[in-house]
Amino acid sequence: MRTISGQITKLFLITFLTITSMAVGQTSLKKVDASIYPKPEKGFKQMVIEVPHSANDSNKKIEFVIGKWMEVDTCNKHGLVGNLEKKDLKGWGYSYYDFITDGGVISTRKACFESSTVRKFVTSQPTTVRYNGKLPIVNYVPEGYDVQFKIFKAEDDVYHASEVKQK
C-alpha cells in the first residue's frame, strides 16, 4: 500500500513540476529592456505595457487609453482633450508614445436635473496596436494620468465579404 501511494505521490510531483516548468518556459522569453527608452520629462511619468509572449501574438491586438480619474456628472459623456504622438526611439527601430494635453475635458452638454456625480476614469480616444509579447508599449503621460489597456483576440473563423453587383 505504501509503495503504491508513494509512487502516486512521486508521479503527481513530477507531473506538477513538468507543467510548472513548461508554464515558466513560455513566459521567460527575453524582453526588450525598458531602460533604453528616454527618461520622462519633468511633469511626466513613464507607463509601460508588457504582455506575455504567446504562440498567437499575430491573432491579438492591444487597445490602450490614457485617462484620468475625475468627478463627473452622471448624465453626460466625458473625454480628454489631447494628442498622442508616436515617436521613434533613435538607433533602435522601436517606438514610444507621448500624450500631450492641457488637461481639457470635452463633454456632452445635457442639462442634468439630478446633480449626482461619480468618480470615473475619463479617457482619450483609444489607440489600437499590434500585440507583441517581446516589446513593451511605452507611454509618457502627465503626472496624474494613467494608462489602461485591453487585449483583443481574433477567432479562428474567417468570413468572406459579399460582392455588390453594380448596375
The pLDDT score that the predictor gives to residue 124 is: 96
| 141 contacts 45 by C-beta, under 8 angstroms | yes
What's the CA gap between 65 and 54, in Å, rounded? 23
Mean pLDDT of the chain: 85
For 6-33, the pLDDT digits (tens) are 665 565 555 554 554 444 444 445 677 8
Whole-number Å distance between alpha carbons of 167 and 163: 13
| Residue 98 pLDDT | 97
Q: Tell me what pLDDT residue 2 has.
A: 53
pLDDT tens-digit readout, 30-82? 677 888 999 999 999 999 999 998 888 999 999 999 999 999 998 899 999 99
State the fold for domain 32-153: Immunoglobulin-like (2.60.40)
Tens of pLDDT, residues 73-115: 988 999 999 999 999 999 999 999 999 999 999 999 888 887 7
List, in order, residues 6 or more apart from 102 with CB less than 8 Å away.
81, 82
Tally the residues of the chain.
167
pLDDT of 166 higher than 50: yes
pLDDT at 15 (0 to 100): 53
Domain boundaries along the sequence of the chain: 1-30, 32-153
**Cα–Cα–Cα angle for 25, 29, 33, rounded to 5 degrees:** 145
pLDDT for the residue 115: 75
